[in-house]
A and B are shown apart, each in its own frame.
Chain A
Amino acid sequence: MLQAENTLFTLVMLLYFSAMILYFAFVALKKDPIVKVAMGLQGLGLVLHTAALVLRGLAAGRLPLTNQYEFATAFAWGLCLVSLIFMLRFTFPLLGAFSAPVTFLIIGYAAMQSKEIHNLMPALQSNWLGFHVSTAIIAYGAFGVSFVLGIIFLLRDKMKAQGFLDEHIPSREKLDIIAYRSVSLGLLFLSFTIITGAIWAERAWGSYWSWDPKETWSLVTWLVYAVYLHLRLRKGWQGKAAAIFAVAGFVCVMFTYIGVNTFLPGVHSYK
């Protein structure tokens, strides 16, 4: 089963890579049919990615969300899913040209991690794990989309001269509200992540909040996006300033995910 998961994972990487190249080709050649193929490949990649995650879950006998490899691949899955939904929902296929590279980078990071399946330590044997990590995947995916939307917003004015891009990129107001929708989705799910994590921590460690670096940075991320939401309500702070905060928020997300694990080890392991 793990062999099959491995084969699927490699296939998924190839599909995501091909989709990314096609999105770039769409921008370069300005031919609409290309983007449909790109979206098709990304969709197929997402289906196979789901199958790979299911296979790994069956092989491990648990939800495959407990180590760096499993979370990274699930993160890429979440980002791919949310970006596809936003592309279809807001008829904005060019979003793929910006989100596909991020998805590919994250699945590339997953490929560099150990794929071994280990037994779970007692603290991780909890039903709350599923709620906690799966909500984090959607939150991170949504924040990934808001990040690329922020980048697109900031680049939009520089692309003004090009009719093709202007035609395929929504107006500033619409971009702003699409980014707001993705931040909303992310913040709601991040709140679920933090609260389910707190409930789980209380059961596992007897303390629902202990200012562990991972907890603290989740809070920092939450606060940064809260600032984003408040800024959008202020006249003169919509648009560019909000887009900068959307980008900064994702930097916090990535630091919470990779930076904290690398530089600030805490009590996110049973002692």
Chain B
Amino acid sequence: MKKVWKFLSSMPFAIGLLVALSAVCALSSLITQGQTYEWYAGAYGPRLGALILALGLDDAFHSWWFWVLTGVLCGNLLLCNLVRLRPLINRTRGFYSADGLPETQDAAPVVHRPKEVFAALSMTPRETERQGQRILFASKNGLGLWGPWVCHLGILLLVVGFSLGQALHREYVVYGVKGQTKPIGDTGYALTIDDFQVKLRADDTVEQYEAAVTVFPQGEAGRGQSARLSVNHPASLFGMKLYQNSTGWAAALTVSKEGQVLEEQILCAGEGLQVQAVPGLVVYLNAFYPDFYLRPGYGPMTLSGALNNPAYLYSIYFQDAMVGMDYWQMEEGPIKVNDYEFTFHDPESYTLLEIKKDKFAWLTLMGGILVLLGLGLCFYVQPVQLWAREQADGTWMVYGKSPKGGPLFTERLLQATEKAKES
């Protein structure tokens, strides 16, 4: 059992996991996600299509095996950090003690003024004695020893925060035009769109999408909280975060019979109206073109975002069977189905707002900050220990240790001792 724990917290296992994760991520990004068997069969052939679905590669990042892999990674990080904590504490304690003086060192430089070597490495030594010999010792940047541990902790928090957020977050979408009030899913709150504007530049490109909203507990409109939001500027109301996510066109659809209005409803593009007077009859607003142009051979398009030549693409279904589909413009007069008349009018932009509750986003952020801190400690806080031992002839032997410095530290130490010799 001990061997199993040791293996699970070992570096080879961690390397294997990292390689497996990177391979899985790379492979999954190359396969279009979220498609049907027909799509995969068409793209990769029936066998490969079936294999993709069987292995869950169609939704790889939410598949059970990806969760398992992520869980094993978390376990490895946790075990690794637990196993290394005590040795790390001991190592840190020992780091500031002169006791670690190496017994032998092949190329220990000899100098007359050891303090100059310490000064060259921006270190101030303290004097101690060992077996009757004077020892100068200094250490710095011991915090750097903690870099990998902090980084691992950061990754662990980041992965746990992200996974919990993915599993437990709540996400809602509310869309509509100015003046509409809609419930926010099952939160018990409702949202009124007080305003929505698409700000255009002189060249017709979008500068910003801006919405003003009021959120209130359902049935308690007086307790509402209002906010303005735009892309890159979300708002927080009642513990929910609101994002300006998207936009589109909407228009009012009036149903009338013999000149009498039977009903009227605002439809966003893609929505349909179930005509109450005729069960089974549904009129859809499929698309809207504010500056309509039917380019021969290419189909419909809009020349600009301005309402210069509005046109509606609609379809009519009766008992789930399409009975009509066409472009329609106001000057053509109402669309007629038997005695019923349909008219689209008052087009305007609708806003699509995304509303989220993620209680673990802070954990992910904290993990990210710790990763950065850990990497900074790993790479840029280099622990250094330096000893100088007095010899019988009055010269000093200098010993240096820098676990991350390698030949560069040895080079630097030699330069410092050469300088001390010269002086």
Q: Is B217 among interface residues, defined by CB-CB distance under 8 A? A: no
Instruction: State in angstroms the CA–CA spacing of A181 and B243 once bound together.
Output: 41
Binds A, one of B25-33, B300-308, B331-339: B25-33
Contact, CB under 8 Å: A226 / B25: no
A interface: dominant SS: helix
With contact pairs A171-B407, A223-B22 given, residues A188 and B376 touching in the complex (Cβ less than 8 Å): yes
Contact, CB under 8 Å: A227 / B207: no
Task: Tell me which of A122, A177, A233 contacts B406 (CB under 8 A).
Answer: A177
Contact, CB under 8 Å: B25 / A230: no
Expressed in whole angstroms, the minimum distance between the Cβ of B16 and any Cβ of chain A is 10
Question: B-facing mask of A113-156, CB < 8 A → 1, else 0?
Answer: 00000110111011000000000000000000000000000000
With contact pairs A122-B232, A188-B379 given, residues A173 and B243 touching in the complex (Cβ less than 8 Å): no
Instruction: State in angstroms the CA–CA spacing of A270 and B411 once bound together.
Output: 52
- Using C-beta atoms within 8 Å of the partner chain, give the interface range for chain A: 35 or more
Question: A-facing mask of B352-371, CB < 8 A → 1, else 0?
Answer: 00101000010011001101
Contact, CB under 8 Å: A223 / B372: no
Q: Is B205 among interface residues, defined by CB-CB distance under 8 A? A: yes
Q: Which residues of B contact A90 (CB under 8 A)?
A: 408
Instruction: State in angstroms the CA–CA spacing of A50 and B261 once bound together.
Output: 67
Q: Is B162 among interface residues, defined by CB-CB distance under 8 A? A: yes
Expressed in whole angstroms, the minimum distance between the Cβ of B87 and any Cβ of chain A is 15
Expressed in whole angstroms, the minimum distance between the Cβ of A14 and any Cβ of chain B is 34
Q: Which residues of B contact A195 (CB under 8 A)?
A: 368-369, 371-372
Contact, CB under 8 Å: A227 / B18: yes
Expressed in whole angstroms, the minimum distance between the Cβ of A181 and any Cβ of chain B is 8
Q: Is A198 among interface residues, defined by CB-CB distance under 8 A? A: yes
Contact, CB under 8 Å: A177 / B231: no
B interface: dominant SS: helix
Task: Tell me which of B26, B232, B241, B408 contacts A125 (CB under 8 A).
Answer: B232
Tell me which residues from 189 to 204 in chain A have a Cβ below 8 Å from any Cβ of chain B: 191-192, 195, 198-200, 202-204
Taking Cβ atoms with an 8 Å cutoff, the residues of A that contact B are 90, 118-119, 121-123, 125-126, 171, 173-174, 176-178, 181, 184-185, 187-188, 191-192, 195, 198-200, 202-206, 208-209, 211, 213, 216-217, 219-220, 223-224, 226-227, 230-231, 233-234, 260, 264, 270-271
Given contact pairs A119-B205, A213-B29, A230-B15, enumerate 12 new A-B contacts (beta carbons under 8 Å): A123-B232, A184-B380, A195-B368, A195-B372, A200-B232, A206-B234, A206-B241, A206-B354, A216-B26, A227-B15, A230-B18, A271-B246
Taking Cβ atoms with an 8 Å cutoff, the residues of B that contact A are 11-12, 14-15, 18-19, 21-22, 25-26, 28-30, 33, 61, 162, 201, 203, 205-209, 230-234, 241, 243, 245-246, 354, 356, 361, 364-365, 368-369, 371-372, 375-376, 378-380, 406-408, 411
